[in-house]
Structure 1
Amino acid sequence: MIIQIFVLLCIGWFLSWLISNVDANFKALGKDISFEFLFIPAGYDINQYLIDYNNRDSHLRAGIVGLLNTGLVAVFGIILATILGVTLGIIRLSKNWLASRIAYWYIEFTRNVPILLHILLWHGIIINTLPHSKNAINIADISFLSNRGFYIPKPLTENGIELVYLLLVIGIIFSVLFFKHAKKKQDLTGLQLPVFWINLSVIISLPVIGFFVSGLPISLEIPVLKGFNFKGGMHMSPELAALTFALGIYTAAFIAEIVRAGILAVDKGQREAAESIGLKPSKVMKLVILPQARRVIIPPLTSQYLNLTKNSSLAIAIGYMDLVATLGGISLNQTGREMETMVIVMLIYLSVSLSISAFMNWYNNKVKLVGR
């Protein structure tokens, strides 16, 4: 107890000294700590945003736009990395020599090249290989792909859309309840119900029925070429695409090795027992191996999700306006509030990381073995 109290006193003294030192340096420079800059006009444009924004909005709104852009990359990157990583991890253990070697070479090459080079490589590929806006790849006269980005129709809601939303919510609730019912039935009887296809059909069909019943309350805003670029519709910038691909593909290499280690941690007798009762290899992997392997996979997988989210801060290298580029970059340079902006950025990344960790720890507790 004496040692612990002494350590806590030392930590408290160090933090106190650090804060007083910062305060003394700021006074010597004639500066104070203030967050009033958040409410003055930002004065700069952002090339990708999920909420309405223009350069007359405040630095606070610019920071929110940057945070949403960071979240967008993180979500898409995690989905891509998980799907690709799990697939590669399984292929890595395949009895097919060629497939196993290709997965091995991919993993070794990808994870031994710095992530920044991956980002620059994908950005260069997209910018230099796709055509200019006037020669954009036309997809059914409603979507267009060029080196300025990917433009798709934007749905515009009208009166009556509430019924579509209501039926969508009902479909989701039904899917959750049906999933629990199917799992309980499988545990009791061993009977497997086509949960995925039934839930998918319900989630799609109910809103579609509501769409026609309420009189087609959704119209589409088609992107149109005006001048040197497209106007209208929804826009996915090349920077967003490059960053998502780079982060997803890079992180997938690490996830693949985690999945491989998790599968190898399952005793081979489990596979042999499953095969002995006539289960196909795909069923063995889905129903026997992966459910047991995920208890080993999830803890290190959490670290990879955190790494991907934090690596998104490298977006500034290709001009993607994320949290670091907006609040921690342009806003910092314009206002001179380096301490305030860095504290905000650090606290936001800390909060996001802790949220991801909390969710993954909750899921880990749901699937862990329960002692009897």
Structure 2
Amino acid sequence: MSMTDRRSGATAVTEKPKTAFWNDRDVRAVIFQILIVLGVLAVGWYLVHNTLANLEQRKIATGFSFLGREAGFSIGESLIPYSAADTYLHAIWVGIINTLLVSVIGIALATVLGTVIGVARLSTNWLVARLASVYVEGLRNIPLLLQLFFWYSLVSEALPPVRQALKLVPDYVFLSQKGLRVPHIVDHAIYGWMGLLVLVGIIGAFLWRRAAARHQEATGKLRPVFWPTVGLLIGPAALLWLVTGAPLTLEKPELRGFDFRGGGTLSPEMIALLIGLVTYTASFIAENVRAGILSVPKGQWEASRALGLPNGRALRLIILPQALRVIVPPMTSQYLNLTKNSSLAVAIGYPDLVSILNTTINQTGQGIEGVALIMAAYLTVSLSISAFMNWYNKRIALIER
């Protein structure tokens, strides 16, 4: 608002009236945020102080010094060497590796099975579509813990005893109540270098695929991708293996007394856990896949048929790449659910992270520290999966021009 000075003709701008700071919305927002932060810190300090005081009153030691002490308990299944004389830290590391092993294998198998079931639900074959629907609706509505109990009972009771083990591959692969026995490859120094060459081949295959895509965009001509990728992945490692004399020694499982000796083992607990996690999670992934495919306009199907593409190739090359933009975000949640649901392994005796830390807590009495380690481990794994899936989601997102 302004007024004109009649004598000079100058225009003077009146000052805006000042308001009290407590009436300023921006200032109030900052004050409220500071008060909330202080309140949270105060509550946290009270809980921590009260907990430490109670622990001290009961003469319960705190801290993570127990991790360096001898564990004193055995672990039935481990990918790395372990004995009861190792430390609690080493035992926890075994549990983390076992959890990651189940999670990685479970995610891969659940993705494949869920995709197949999701596509089957859209099949024009009435029987296939109905069987897929029964699978999805049945498994999604039964608690996972009950399914794990069912699969564990089936694996441990329906299979024959060790001395009557099923010979899936005579003299090599046996299935019994003690689990699946398979040959074990004896370690050799050259295998480490072969693994390094495979990693280099993965990088080379990635660069080759990018170069082929750029070449196609620039010239419109296709470059071969599949066979060069296969060659880069296994070619250098296979050549090194052949040059060094093709070292390969298999340690076969042999029945001695009442159990097998030698070879590798998949325990009944791990088999039951994998079957339960994979079949349960796949029922949710199937719905994500079905929703993604249905989100693609029908015109894409019609265009692919007009080009003469078979339904299978059209689904793989045209429909699914577009559907991924709808599938990937909810798929991330299912991967996280599978990883966290693996903690139910403690119910059937598989030595995962929760099971091993539960034993550690019972022996040491360090309940708070043990639960904190479990939370930190699952938080780290979950955030890593989320970060990777978010990166992949950005790569496949549509870029508007």
TM-score tier, shorter chain, comes to over 0.9
Amino acid at match of 1:176: F
Deviation at 1:209, TM superposition (A): 3.1
Contact 1:144–1:150, Cα closer than 8 Å, also in 2: yes
Deviation at 1:298, TM superposition (A): 1.1
Contact 1:157–1:217, Cα closer than 8 Å, also in 2: no
Partner of 2:161: 132
Partner of 1:105: 134
Query: What is the rounded CA distance, in whole Å, between the counterparts of 1:32 and 1:167 in structure 2?
Result: 49
Corresponding position: 1:36 with 2:60: no
Corresponding position: 1:94 with 2:126: no
Query: What is the rounded CA distance, in whole Å, between the counterparts of 2:189 and 2:396 in structure 1?
Result: 44
Aligned residue for 2:304, secondary structure, equals helix
RMSD: 2.0
Amino acid at match of 2:387: A
Give the 5 Å matches for 1:211-360.
Answer: 211-327=241-357, 329-360=358-389
Query: What is the rounded CA distance, in whole Å, between the counterparts of 2:235 and 2:175 in structure 1?
Result: 30
Aligned residue for 1:230, secondary structure, equals strand
Contact 1:160–1:215, Cα closer than 8 Å, also in 2: no
Query: What is the rounded CA distance, in whole Å, between the counterparts of 2:129 and 2:352 in structure 1?
Result: 37
Cα 1:163–1:357 change in 2 (3 A) is closer
Aligned residue for 2:186, secondary structure, equals strand
Cα 1:189–1:109 change in 2 (3 A) is farther
Deviation at 1:101, TM superposition (A): 0.9
Give the 5 Å matches for 1:114-193.
Answer: 114-138=143-167, 139-161=169-191, 164-165=194-195, 167-187=197-217
Deviation at 1:278, TM superposition (A): 2.3
Q: How many residues align?
A: 371
Cα 1:150–1:102 change in 2 (3 A) is same
Query: What is the rounded CA distance, in whole Å, between the counterparts of 2:300 and 2:162 in structure 1?
Result: 56
Consecutive unaligned residues of structure 2, counting only runs of 5 or more, are 1-28
Partner of 2:399: 370
Deviation at 1:38, TM superposition (A): 1.1
Aligned residue for 2:303, secondary structure, equals helix
Query: What is the rounded CA distance, in whole Å, between the counterparts of 2:279 and 2:217 in structure 1?
Result: 36
Cα distance per residue 1:263-290 (max 9 Å; x no partner): 1122222222232222221222112211
Amino acid at match of 1:321: P
Query: What is the rounded CA distance, in whole Å, between the counterparts of 1:273 and 1:160 in structure 2?
Result: 51
- More RCO (CA 8 Å, sep 6+): 1
1:60 aligns with one of 75, 86, 89: 89
Cα 1:55–1:281 change in 2 (3 A) is same
Cα 1:58–1:158 change in 2 (3 A) is same
Amino acid at match of 1:117: L
Cα 1:118–1:20 change in 2 (3 A) is same
Deviation at 1:123, TM superposition (A): 1.1
1:75 aligns with one of 104, 107, 116: 104
Higher-Rg member (1/2):
2
Deviation at 1:343, TM superposition (A): 0.9
Cα 1:240–1:197 change in 2 (3 A) is farther
Contact 1:161–1:217, Cα closer than 8 Å, also in 2: no
Cα 1:187–1:243 change in 2 (3 A) is farther
Normalized against structure 2, the TM-score is what?
0.87
Query: What is the rounded CA distance, in whole Å, between the counterparts of 1:346 and 1:353 in structure 2?
Result: 10
Query: What is the rounded CA distance, in whole Å, between the counterparts of 1:214 and 1:24 in structure 2?
Result: 64
